[in-house]
């Protein structure tokens, strides 16, 4: 999400000293009780209980920070996290179980296996657009893997951050988990410390800063960075279904979603048929005046509002276009006649604007997508299996969805992560467990017989026998 946390791009200011905080977490990890499956399960259960006990407060905070409607907030944040917890608790013992691998004849007698072990202390740096989900969903995987963690929620969602700071110590082990509120100074200070893993969700500018800070300690990182996620609509698609699903995916959370379709690629005839369908479904979802709808959110702050309204001139407003700075409201807007080099096409939009870029056919659309950075998500609407295969084989993206948008994120067995400029590493479900674990290679050898074949002195007969054996 290239614009999600660029407010931190000035990172570098001095801040508090978190040395004692990290020392305490490391002492907890060294005590080994985070390795206990029962402890992990209890922490995961308590995480859901925290959200359930204070559901009304969390929904109110999300409304305060982003104008999120209660149902949307519950579905994309609280319920999403609860689903991740449920899946992890169900499969945790299997994930933790050592995985046997074949031991070759040369290494017999012996047995070999892969054993997952916790890394230590993880720093989780969240973004503002889904201020609970992007902090707590990674935390589910961090806990499942048996780690301690420092949570740094975004300062741009202060109500949500304050609730996390208040309730996480009450429901989770306060010796193993800490929440740090604050802005640039606090983030800078946190990044000076050594961790065993860092996961950051936000923009590429800060992602580079996080990675540079991690490099000083050789700390592995997971970066979720977003990008311009394309949505190709071919003439054979069910355009009514496509329009409905694209409109939902683009304008949920007022477009402030890192995996939302960022722009549409379609030929002229498909565009002409698609635009009125988009307009119709937007009316169905948000009414004639979306500003009065209780189902449509707001832009997070004035800076992003001004940035987004400046992009309205990048094409012809075919749907929407109205705005109100007093409410930081921007109407769901569809732009046509968009030039590939226009401002709206230069970076991830991260707001309720949907440009349509004309392309002649699938190959032209693929060429356009491949000419830019690899996106976090890519979408194709088409019934043609050959077109789907061509798209899957040639478009590189963190995740791909055919004939829908965003829904892959609801599948815990699928990894969630980017590629290239859209990020590195992945989490969710077992992929998250493995991401925050060290997969330790183990071999146990028998004592007898101890065949002298590998030992010096070497000989031609040993050499020839080894060639036949191996």
| 9-29 pLDDT tens trace | 445 556 799 999 999 999 999
In the prediction, which pLDDT does 105 show?
A: 86
- For residue 6, pLDDT over 80 is answered with no
In the predicted model, what is the mean pLDDT of residues 185-195? 97
- For residue 330, pLDDT over 90 is answered with yes
Give the pLDDT band of residue 469 (cuts 50, 70, 90).
confident
- For residue 5, pLDDT over 60 is answered with no
In the prediction, which pLDDT does 15 show?
A: 79
In the predicted model, what is the mean pLDDT of residues 224-230? 95
In the predicted model, what is the mean pLDDT of residues 319-347? 97
In the predicted model, what is the mean pLDDT of residues 83-111? 96
CB-based contacts of 215: which residues, under 8 Å, 6+ apart? none
In the prediction, which pLDDT does 14 show?
A: 65
Mean pLDDT estimate for the chain: 95
Cα 119 to Cα 116: distance, rounded to the nearest angstrom: 9
**What pTM does this model have?**
0.94
- For residue 1, pLDDT over 60 is answered with no
pLDDT tens digits for range 121-169 = 999 999 999 999 999 999 999 999 999 999 999 999 999 999 999 999 9
> What H or E segment, with its residue span, contains residue 345?
none
CA distances from 162 to 7, 286, 287 (A): 19, 30, 33
Cα 296 to Cα 292: distance, rounded to the nearest angstrom: 8
pLDDT tens digits for range 360-382 = 999 999 999 999 999 999 999 99
- For residue 7, pLDDT over 90 is answered with no
In the predicted model, what is the mean pLDDT of residues 90-108? 95
Q: Is 224 a catalytic residue?
A: yes
pLDDT tens digits for range 428-437 = 999 999 999 9
pLDDT tens digits for range 41-84 = 999 999 999 999 999 999 999 999 999 999 999 999 999 999 99
One of 258, 331, 347, 401 is an active-site residue; which one? 258
In the prediction, which pLDDT does 468 show?
A: 85
In the prediction, which pLDDT does 13 show?
A: 56
In the predicted model, what is the mean pLDDT of residues 242-248? 98
One of 77, 84, 193, 224 is an active-site residue; which one? 224
Angle, CA 180 vertex, CA 174 and CA 183 arms, to 5°: 175
Express as a percent the part of the chain with pLDDT over 90. Answer: 93
CB 115 within 8 A of CB 35: no
Give the pLDDT band of residue 466 (cuts 50, 70, 90).
confident
Cα 440 to Cα 442: distance, rounded to the nearest angstrom: 6
Q: Exposed, middle or buried by CB within 10 Å (0-12, 13-18, 19+), for 165? A: middle
In the predicted model, what is the mean pLDDT of residues 211-236? 97
Instruction: Report the 10 Å Cβ neighbour count for 248.
Output: 16
Q: Is 181 a catalytic residue?
A: no
Query: Which of 171, 115, 116 has its CA nearest to residue 139?
Result: 171
Residue that has been written with the tokens 């990020």 in this structure: 423
* Domains delineated in the chain: 6-226+419-442 (3.40.605.10), 230-411 (3.40.309.10)
Cα 157 to Cα 5: distance, rounded to the nearest angstrom: 11
For residue 30, what are its two tokens? Answer: 């060294």
Cα 21 to Cα 10: distance, rounded to the nearest angstrom: 24
């Amino acid at each position: 999400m290239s614009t999600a946390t660029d407010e931190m791009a000035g990172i570098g200011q001095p801040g508090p000293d978190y040395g004692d905080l990290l020392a305490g977490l490391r002492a907890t990890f060294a005590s080994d009780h985070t390795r206990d499956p029962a402890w992990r399960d209890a922490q995961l259960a308590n995480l859901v209980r925290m959200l359930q006990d204070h559901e009304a407060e969390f929904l109110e905070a999300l409304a305060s920070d982003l104008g999120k409607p209660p149902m949307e907030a519950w579905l994309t944040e609280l319920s999403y996290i609860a689903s991740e917890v449920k899946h992890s608790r169900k499969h945790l013992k299997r994930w933790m179980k050592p995985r046997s691998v074949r031991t070759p004849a040369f290494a017999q007698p012996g047995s070999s296996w892969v054993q997952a072990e916790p890394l230590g202390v993880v720093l989780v740096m969240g973004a503002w657009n889904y201020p609970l989900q992007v902090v707590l969903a990674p935390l589910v995987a961090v806990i499942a893997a048996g780690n301690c963690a420092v949570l740094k929620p975004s300062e741009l969602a202060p109500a949500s951050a304050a609730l996390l700071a208040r309730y996480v110590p009450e429901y989770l082990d306060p010796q193993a988990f800490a929440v740090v509120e604050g802005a640039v100074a606090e983030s800078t200070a946190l990044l000076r410390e050594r961790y065993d893993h860092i996961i950051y969700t936000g923009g590429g500018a800060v992602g580079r800063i996080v990675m540079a800070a991690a490099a000083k300690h050789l700390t592995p990182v997971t970066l979720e960075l977003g990008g311009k996620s394309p949505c190709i609509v071919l003439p054979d698609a069910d355009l009514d279904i496509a329009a409905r699903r694209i409109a939902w995916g683009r304008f949920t959370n007022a477009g402030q979603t890192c995996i939302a379709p960022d722009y549409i690629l379609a030929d002229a005839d498909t565009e002409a048929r698609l635009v009125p369908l988009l307009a119709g479904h937007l009316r169905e979802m948000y009414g004639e005046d979306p500003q009065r709808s209780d189902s449509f959110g707001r832009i997070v702050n004035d800076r992003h509002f001004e940035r987004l309204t400046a992009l309205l001139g990048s094409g012809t407003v075919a749907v929407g276009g109205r705005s109100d700075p007093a409410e930081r409201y921007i109407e769901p807007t569809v732009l046509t006649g968009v030039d590939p080099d226009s401002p709206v096409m230069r970076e991830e939009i991260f707001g309720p604007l949907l440009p349509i870029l004309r392309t002649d056919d699938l190959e032209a659309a693929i060429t356009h997508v491949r000419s830019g950075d690899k996106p976090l998500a890519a979408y194709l609407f088409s019934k043609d299996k050959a077109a789907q295969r061509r798209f899957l084989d040639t478009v590189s993206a963190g995740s791909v969805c055919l004939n829908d948008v965003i829904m892959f994120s609801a599948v815990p067995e699928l990894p969630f992560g980017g590629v290239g400029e859209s990020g590195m590493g992945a989490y969710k479900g077992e992929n998250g467990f493995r991401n925050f674990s060290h997969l330790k290679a183990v071999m146990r050898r028998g004592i007898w017989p101890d065949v002298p074949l590998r030992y010096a002195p070497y000989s031609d007969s040993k050499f020839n026998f080894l060639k036949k054996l191996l």
